[in-house]
């Protein structure tokens, strides 16, 4: 992917502070020594090496061993920092925790990630070597892995186990993605069939910005020793008198499957096909296969076209390739011209479909295996051979009909077209894969045709108004041409993502003065938080207060981020109707039109909503039925509070209302948001983003 290539170039050119994770073994100690020698050589300007030593706190000796390694590093001239893992209070003996290695790995990487972020370090070096790579690949082979799973350990990758940690995993900064068009389409959704109709308004109609503020950054893992066997690293330590420790448990073949594989490799008891040279050859072939597959996937993405990508509501309109363009693309890739798609074709299509869904999915990258997408590729990538056979059969039927019943030709053709449309519509049913729902688009008016139709329909000088209902009369309307509306899948019942946070209260004057987005500003926001794995948010409350009140102990106001729900709309519309500001961009009609055109149907109930809790009105309490006398205290507290909607943050809709939280001053909610980090190369290949 283009992102990964950029990451690799950034690592090669990196200066500043670089950290090495040092556990005291020969591999990590050799890595730290070599990094220190590079620092001394001045070959990389401004390079400073720092070492992190993890104290797992799993054994009584852990702390002493970590201190010993730190002392060795100081003698080497490297600045060490010991990171103590924080186990749950309920675990008196972490070594006896179920799946200890899994929990320790997660805590270790999170501690390393936070340490890198706090020290402004972007690259973490690790001492994995060639032997580790062989062992890992052999274990994956035994576990049934194939394809990319056998491509070995990557030299450069994002830090694992840190999803959702701001400044650590795919976050810490942002970039603005510029779209090729500045107009939003209008979407109509049939509630019964889930079939959509799409048209663009006239260019004279002002719509929301299509630019995307996307999260970027994070910590990269770099493994510079993967091409060296462990014997070379041991020689480096011995020749340069670098101390290291040896863990005897790593050589007990009965302890873990990894140890058993290591024992078999070291004793040459494996057949030649499973020995290190053969496994390294397998890794190389798998990497070549992955690279070729990515190139073929890029070619398939070029055959797709994004008509709209709306990060504000999490939707995308994609025109997938026709059967004829797929046939040309397959011929160019050398897949042959046999009947039906080959297994290679299906794998490329599955990879492409996953890359498209991950632009909207509420899950981490590669969360779903490619196999889970293969059953759905035929829905959006039509089989060119099957389409050709159907076309030939239709032509033969038409010729026979012309000979037999020429007088009824026009009527029969109309019937055939209706049947074809019905068959096509039956095939194009909504479906969900990879956390994304696909809805077929039955009618689509392109942007250029919409503007031309607007000028034909209205006299010169007449102001244009958006009209989605007249799209069927446009001569160039695209009907059922493999266009799909994509959105986040609907939430499962009782599993709505909800985040509670405390927003700091600042004076309105200082909030206006401190407009810097830097988190270290005098008047900070709440920490960035990831909601639904799609949106990053941070918030604060600006309140009118005196200078003396502003200097008092910091205060916060509780906020909730959750999806918009049906009952919320009634409250929001009621509050907007009562608003006296007469802001045309924040009234009932504007919001109703916005949701109708950009988030129709159930799509609107995946949009984030910010609320707060307020005391219930006494009159409302009397109307509620008596609660169970045995209710617990927490339930009684909930009976005394209700949620008050404050904003639809991604739509920039502020909801009016009177809120005080015990304060007499007026206050205003302020927020910033970013979309999750995504594969921008995919959007560029599908023609949505501008180059650069």
Q: Which two tokens stand for residue 325?
A: 């363009």
**Is 70 exceeded by the pLDDT of residue 641?**
yes
The share of the chain scoring above pLDDT 70, in percent, equals 72
The pLDDT confidence band at residue 385, using thresholds 50, 70 and 90, is low
pLDDT at 302: 96
- Sorted by where each starts, the structural domains of the chain and their CATH numbers stand as 2-170+218-248 (3.40.50.620), 186-215+292-401+412-491+681-685 (no CATH), 499-621+634-678 (no CATH)
In the chain, % of residues over pLDDT 90:
54
Smallest CA-to-CA distance from 191 within 607, 569, 606, 602 is with: 602
Tokens of 21: 């994770």
Q: Cα-Cα-Cα-Cα dihedral of 569, 574, 580, 583, to 10°?
A: 20
Handedness of CA 27, 28, 33, 38 (dihedral sign): positive
User: Considering only CA atoms, which of 513, 531, 532, 533 is closest in space to residue 522?
Assistant: 513
**What is the band of 424 on the pLDDT scale with cuts at 50, 70, 90?**
low
Mean pLDDT throughout 266-288? 94
Q: pLDDT value at position 292?
A: 95
201 vs 509, residue with greater confidence? 201
Among 205-219, 498-512, 515-529, the least confident range? 515-529
In this predicted structure, the answer to whether residue 223 has a pLDDT above a threshold of 90 is yes
Segment among 78-87, 335-344, 600-609 with least mean pLDDT: 335-344
436: pLDDT strictly greater than 60: yes
Q: What are the C-alpha distances in Å from 209 to residues 39, 184, 650, 682?
A: 47, 8, 11, 21
Nearest to 220 by CA among 128, 174, 157: 157
| pLDDT range class, residue 519, cuts 50, 70, 90 | very low
Which of 177-186, 435-444, 627-636 shows the lowest per-residue confidence on average (mean pLDDT)? 627-636
Q: Rounded distance, CA 109 to CA 218, Å? A: 13
CA–CA separation, 72 and 108 (whole Å): 21
Q: Which of 121-125, 520-524, 599-603 has the lowest mean pLDDT?
A: 520-524
Give CA separation, 350 vs 314, 341, 343, in Å: 22, 12, 10
Distance CA 247, CA 592 (A): 65
User: Tell me: the pLDDT tens digits for 642-661?
Assistant: 899 999 999 999 998 755 55
What residue ranges in 470-607 does DSSP mark as E strands?
478-479, 483-488, 499-507, 529-531, 535-543, 556-563
Burial of residue 572 (CB within 10 Å: 0-12, 13-18, 19+) is buried
Give yes or no for residue 375 having a pLDDT over 50: yes
For residue 590, give both structure tokens: 């504007």
Banded pLDDT at 173 (limits 50, 70, 90): very high
Does the structure show a pLDDT above 70 at 630?
Answer: no
Q: pLDDT band at residue 406, thresholds of 50, 70 and 90?
A: low
Q: Are 557 and 503 in contact (CB under 8 A)?
A: yes
Angle between helices 62-76 and 26-41 (to 10 degrees): 30
Would you place residue 447 in the very low, low, confident or very high pLDDT band (cuts 50, 70, 90)?
low
How is residue 213 annotated by DSSP? Answer: E
- What digits encode the pLDDT tens for the residues 94-144? 777 778 888 999 999 999 999 999 999 999 999 999 999 999 999 999 999
The answer to whether the CB of 335 falls within 8 A of the CB of 280 is: no
β-strand pairing of 535-543 with 529-531 = antiparallel
- Per the model's pLDDT, the better-predicted residue between 4 and 121 turns out to be 121
Q: What is the pTM of this model?
A: 0.84
Buried b (16+ CB within 10 A) or exposed e, 413-436: eeeeeeeeeeebeeebeebebbbb
Q: How confident is the model at residue 450 (pLDDT cuts 50, 70, 90)?
A: low
Q: Are 278 and 265 in contact (CB under 8 A)?
A: no
Distance CA 316, CA 319 (A): 10
Q: What is the pLDDT of residue 331?
A: 60
pLDDT of residue 184: 86
């Amino acid at each position: 992917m283009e992102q990964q290539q950029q990451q690799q170039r950034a690592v090669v050119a990196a200066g500043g502070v670089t950290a090495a994770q040092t556990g005291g073994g020969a591999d990590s100690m050799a890595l730290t020594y070599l990094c220190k020698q590079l620092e001394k050589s001045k070959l990389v300007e401004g390079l400073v090496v720092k070492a992190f030593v993890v104290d797992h706190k799993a054994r009584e000796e852990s702390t002493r061993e970590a201190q010993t390694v730190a002392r060795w590093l100081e003698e080497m001239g490297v600045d060490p920092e010991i990171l103590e893992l924080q186990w749950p209070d309920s675990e008196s003996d972490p070594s006896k925790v179920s799946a200890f290695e899994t929990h320790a790995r997660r805590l270790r990487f999170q501690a390393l990630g936070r340490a890198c972020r706090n020290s402004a370090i972007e690259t973490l070096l690790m001492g994995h070597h060639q032997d580790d790579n062989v062992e890992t690949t052999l274990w994956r082979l035994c576990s049934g892995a194939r394809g990319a799973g056998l491509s070995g350990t990557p030299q450069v990758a994002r830090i694992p186990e840190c999803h959702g940690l701001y400044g650590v995993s795919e976050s810490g900064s942002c970039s603005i993605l510029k779209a090729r068009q500045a107009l939003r389409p209008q979407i109509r959704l049939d509630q019964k069939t889930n079939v959509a109709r799409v048209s663009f308004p006239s260019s004279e109609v002002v719509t929301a910005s299509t630019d995307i503020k996307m999260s970027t950054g994070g910590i990269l893992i770099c493994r510079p020793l993967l091409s060296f066997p462990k014997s070379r690293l041991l020689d480096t330590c011995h020749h340069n008198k670098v101390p290291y420790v040896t863990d005897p448990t790593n050589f007990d073949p009965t302890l873990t499957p990894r140890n058993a594989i290591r024992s078999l490799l070291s004793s040459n008891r494996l057949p030649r096909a499973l020995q290190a040279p053969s496994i390294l050859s397998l890794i190389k072939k798998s990497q070549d296969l992955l690279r070729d597959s990515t190139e073929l996937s890029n070619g398939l993405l070029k055959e797709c076209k994004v008509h709209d990508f709306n990060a504000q509501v999490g939707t995308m309109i994609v025109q997938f390739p026709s059967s004829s363009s797929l046939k040309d693309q397959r011929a160019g890739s050398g897949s042959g011209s046999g009947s039906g798609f080959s297994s290679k074709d299906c794998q490329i299509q599955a990879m492409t479909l996953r890359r498209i869904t991950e632009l909207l999915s509420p899950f981490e990258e590669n969360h779903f295996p490619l196999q889970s997408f293969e059953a759905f590729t035929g829905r959006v990538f039509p089989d060119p051979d099957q389409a050709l056979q159907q076309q030939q059969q239709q032509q033969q039927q038409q010729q026979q009909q012309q000979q037999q019943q020429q007088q009824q030709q026009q009527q029969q053709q109309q019937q055939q077209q209706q049947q074809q449309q019905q068959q096509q519509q039956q095939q194009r049913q909504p479906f969900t894969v990879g956390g994304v729902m696909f809805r077929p688009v039955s009618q689509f008016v392109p942007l250029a045709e919409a503007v031309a139709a607007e000028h034909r329909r209205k006299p010169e000088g007449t102001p244009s108004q958006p009209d989605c209902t007249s799209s069927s009369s446009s001569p160039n309307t695209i009907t059922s041409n493999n266009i799909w509306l994509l959105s986040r899948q609907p939430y499962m019942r009782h599993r709505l993502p909800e985040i509670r946070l405390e927003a700091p209260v600042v004076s309105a004057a200082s909030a206006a003065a401190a407009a810097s987005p830097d988190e270290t500003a005098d008047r900070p926001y709440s920490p960035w938080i990831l909601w639904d794995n799609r949106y990053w948010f941070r918030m604060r409350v600006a309140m009118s207060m005196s200078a003396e009140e502003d200097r008092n102990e910091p205060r916060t106001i509780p906020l909730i981020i959750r999806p918009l729900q049906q009952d919320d709309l009634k409250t929001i519309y009621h509050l907007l109707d009562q608003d006296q500001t007469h802001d045309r961009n924040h009234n009932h009609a504007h919001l109703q039109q916005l949701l109708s055109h950009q988030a129709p149907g159930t799509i609107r109930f995946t949009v984030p909503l910010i609320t707060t809790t307020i005391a219930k009105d006494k009159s409302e309490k009397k109307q509620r039925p008596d609660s169970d006398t045995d209710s617990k205290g927490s339930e009684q507290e909930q009976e005394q509070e209700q949620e008050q909607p404050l904003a639809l943050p991604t739509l920039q809709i502020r909801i009016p209302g009177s809120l005080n939280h015990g304060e007499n001053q007026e206050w205003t909610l302020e927020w910033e948001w970013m979309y999750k980090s995504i594969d921008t190369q995919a959007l560029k290949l599908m023609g949505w983003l501008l180059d650069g």
